[in-house]
Structure formats: C-alpha cells, structure tokens
A and B are shown apart, each in its own frame.
Chain A
C-alpha cells in the first residue's frame, strides 16, 4: 500500500472554479477570436511552465493540434528541465514544435563577459538581470511574431491574471499577443483548469518560474506564495475590499500595502498607450470600434 499522494497544489475556497464552464468559455473564446480575425492557426511560446502548457492544451482543443505551432525559445542559462517539460507537452498534444535558441540574439546585443562585444558596446555585459530578462522576453516576442507570418497564424497569449495585476510581466514581451484566453484566471485557477484539461502532473507540481536566470522562482522573487497573493488580489480587485478590511480579514498589513502599490504602479502595463487628443476624433478616445468588424481586410 502506498502513501496517499500529496495534492499538487492547494486551492483557496473562494478561488475554486467550475473548470468545465471555464474550459468551455476559453475554448469558445479562442475559436471566436480566430473566426473574427479570419485566421485558423495559432502560434504559442511554450516555456515548460503551467500557463503556456494550459494554453497549448486549450488551443489544441479549440483548433486541433495540426493548426498549433509551439515554439520553444530557451536561452543558454534556461533550465534543461523547462525544455524537457515543454517537449513533453508538444509530444502529448502531437502539435508542431520548433526550437529557437535565443542566446545569439541576446548575446549579440549585450555581448558576453570576456567574449566579443555586442551591439550595445563595451558596457553591455554589465547589464542587470532585470534588463536581460526583459530583453529575453522581447526577443521571444519578436520570434513569435515573425514565425506567425510563416505559420499564417495568430500569437496566442499565456499570461495569467495574478502576474498582470501585480505587473510581473514585460511590456511588449511576454504580455504581447493577439488575444489571451487565460488572462482573467489567477495562478491558482490556472492550475485547476490545467489539471482538468490534462496538463502533465510534473508541470502542475513544479515551482513557477520565469526561468530568466538559474534558480529563479516567482514566489522567491515576488516574496509571496501564489495561494496567498491570489486570495488577496481576489478580495481587493474582484470583491472590492479596502486595505483596512483586508487587514481585518487577516492579511498581513505590510503585504497588503506592498501588493496594492504593485497593482497601482503597473496600471500602465495593462492599457493601450494614450494618444494626445488633438483632432476632433481620436482613436481610443472618441473613435470606438470593435477590434474586428465587417469590411476589414485581413491584416497581420
């Protein structure tokens, strides 16, 4: 007799979702977006983490695996286990996959210590981990958008609600996409849905990481565990609780203050850049149309 297996993750009660309904909404959303845009195929950056694995499963369900291209884009310091996990998803789904090593792109810009200087010049190798991480995210975005032309598909987004709300994303990097089916699900809800659609257990169990440098984990970098921050965000954003009410509910006052500041400080990352109002009718201000409408010629 074996010991009962530990749950892969814990789900706070208020974040429990009806996975069947969420799955239906997400899959229909993907189909609807493609139909409205006049496309049939999808391109996805597959990291080996649970977010992109979930979107790969949903995309394959929506359009069929033969219309999905998964792109693996490791940097030379990325964990080998990430690549293995990503490959296992592509294999399981039987979708097309392609490996693009972004090391030459990134090193070609920053240069390498003791090696040839990059496009940036001699101070390139001294760039901070944050700058390098952002550049990697944008290099991956550039690859996805380039391959989307070749594949004749749209880039599908993989960011979740937790990271969008606290701003743990790179603008025009990992948050760039044609549309995003999981951007309204907190990380703990992403895991519930991922389990429901059959994402491999190894991916559900591992510590979430942006994998921008060795040993990095989201929870160490941000300083909170996902179950707690998801609960806090849920009560703050979805249920409109004030900071005082949150502290009264038992959340740590310092954490409440810090998370609120992260949410407020990243508002700009969740919005289209403002255009100066000069003419009588201005895009995004008083010229308001659906993104896709009749009469549009398909543009990529």
Chain B
C-alpha cells in the first residue's frame, strides 16, 4: 500500500501582485509541510492572478528568476505544482505550470490550448506551448501536468496517460458562470468540469487532481471546487465552491493498480493506429482542396 497525501491550495491570488502571491505560496507550503503533505498543488497563475492583460510582461519570470528560485528552494522534502507567467529566452510569454521537488524544477508544462473566445482572450497576451509530456517524480508514479483549457481537448489527458502518467494534474483559473437552477451544482461551469474529469479518470484509469482558484479578477469570479477523482471515476474529495482553503486529501495508489488490472484500457490502447490515422487526417486536411467540410468516414 502506498498512500499519498495531497494538499489542494484553493487560493485567491492578488491580480498582478507577485510579492503578495509569493508570500501566500510560501505560507501554504509551510502549512502543507506541517500537515505531512507529499504534494501541494497550486492553481493556474496562482503567482500572478489571471486577467493580467498588459501586466503579463510585468509579472513574467525566467526559470532562473531569483524570486522563483526562492520559492522553489522551499520545497525541500516536498513536491509542488506552481503556476506563473514564464518568459522564454526569446521573450515569449507562456502560461506555465512547473513540478518542483526537493528544491529543484523537475518539469515545466506550457499551456498548449489558449482559449480566445467568449470571455477569454489568452492568445492575444500569451504564446502557446507545444509539448504534452509526462514526467518522472519523486512521488513514484509518473505525473502529467495540464492547465485549465488543455483539458477541454481530449488529446491532452490521452497523451499524458499514454506517456505513463498515473497522476493527471490540472491547474485552473476557471471563471464561474451560468447560475441556472437546472444545473447539477448550481453552476454550469462546475457541472461541465465534473463530467469531464470523471470521464478522464475512468478512461485513463488514472487519478485526476484538479485545483481551481477562487476569488475575483475584475468582473470574473472563480469557483474553486477542486477535486481528486479516483481511477474508477469516483470522486475521492470535493472542495467547496468559492471557499479559500488548503484541503488535504489522501489517496491510495493501490487503487490505481487494482483498477488498471481489472480494467486494462491503457494496455489495450493502440497509439500506432491513432498515429497512422492522424497522419492521414492531417495530410488530407492540409491538402490542395479547400477546407474539407466533413470527411469523417469517407473512404481512404
């Protein structure tokens, strides 16, 4: 039996105030350590706030930024997922999440899917990441990182699981909207997310760890509701909507082993079939003819 203690840092970052947010992160790391957590997960852009617009460049950090290094140094004996605006050497700005362990950055995921529709305008202000890879971790199982909208694209949890991830971690700044009484939990956004995360956990037979921020940026309220879902698709833990807090959850990795042996979906995956078909589809979509209206099911 291998148990993992996970701390979900459902916090409310101050928009554009790096110093205050760094201090909040340091405090939460200390609290989590005192609670014997193995892993602490912070939300998307927890170090900067979400609706940055032209503040994006003011709060951006290179991976060797001393402010970031100072926070990373405080993860001795711990694993943590932190999220910030990463500036690359060629000065592109990414929404990034990093797995940091024992005082070092182990892996950085740059948000691949930047929503630019409805209330979102991310592509105007940020560059899109181009890699979806899982990573080794001191925790034992491989870890896959994704950021908010990344999970609205099926390929992301699929690729992470195929790359060996057993813990799928999604960090989010998801704006709450749609208070129609017909919704399962009073908030349309929460209902959609919960549906997706259960499906991903079940289909990848992995643990899904979702940490969503709370608080307010301008008009937008973030709804929290952080969760841990077991590989069976059942919720292990649900944090309350809207309440700031550090929530501790314990999972048993033996549940994952049992599920994967009983339901060997990943064993039976056929990535080579997917790859072959994808290559063909991409080739056809990029073909000489105009954008195909609909070609699914057409003869090869």
Contact = CB atoms under 8 A, between A and B. Distances in A.
Nearest to B181: A16
A36 B52 CA distance: 14
A290 B242 contact: no
Given A32-B215, A288-B53, A294 B17 contact: yes
A18 B180 contact: yes
A297 interface: no
B187 A18 contact: yes
A203 B241 CA distance: 31
B186 interface: yes
Given A28-B216, A32-B216, A293 B15 contact: yes
Contacts of B221: 25, 28-29, 32
How extensive is the interface on chain A, given as a class? 20 to 34
B52 A290 contact: yes
Contact of A18 (B15, B16, B179): B179
How extensive is the interface on chain B, given as a class? 20 to 34
Contacts of B187: 18, 21
Interface string B1-34: 0000000000000111100000000000000000
A291 interface: yes
Contacts of A291: 218
Nearest to B12: A32
B54 A288 contact: yes
B185 to A, nearest CB: 8
B183 A293 contact: no
A21 B55 contact: no
A294 to B, nearest CB: 5
B259 interface: no
Contacts of B241: 21, 24
Interface in B174-189: 176, 179-183, 186-187
Interface in A242-300: 287-294
A25 B176 contact: yes
A33 interface: yes
B216 A29 contact: yes
Contacts of A289: 53-55
Nearest to A286: B54
A200 B37 CA distance: 49
Task: Report which residue of A21, A22, A33, A289 has the largest number of chain B beta carbons within 10 angstroms of its beta carbon.
Answer: A21
A21 B217 CA distance: 18
A289 B180 CA distance: 31
Interface string A1-36: 000000000000010111011101100110011001
A249 to B, nearest CB: 18
A21 B182 CA distance: 12
B51 interface: yes
A20 B185 CA distance: 11
Interface of A: 14, 16-18, 20-22, 24-25, 28-29, 32-33, 36, 287-294
9 contacts: A14-B180, A17-B181, A24-B242, A32-B221, A36-B15, A36-B216, A287-B54, A290-B15, A293-B15
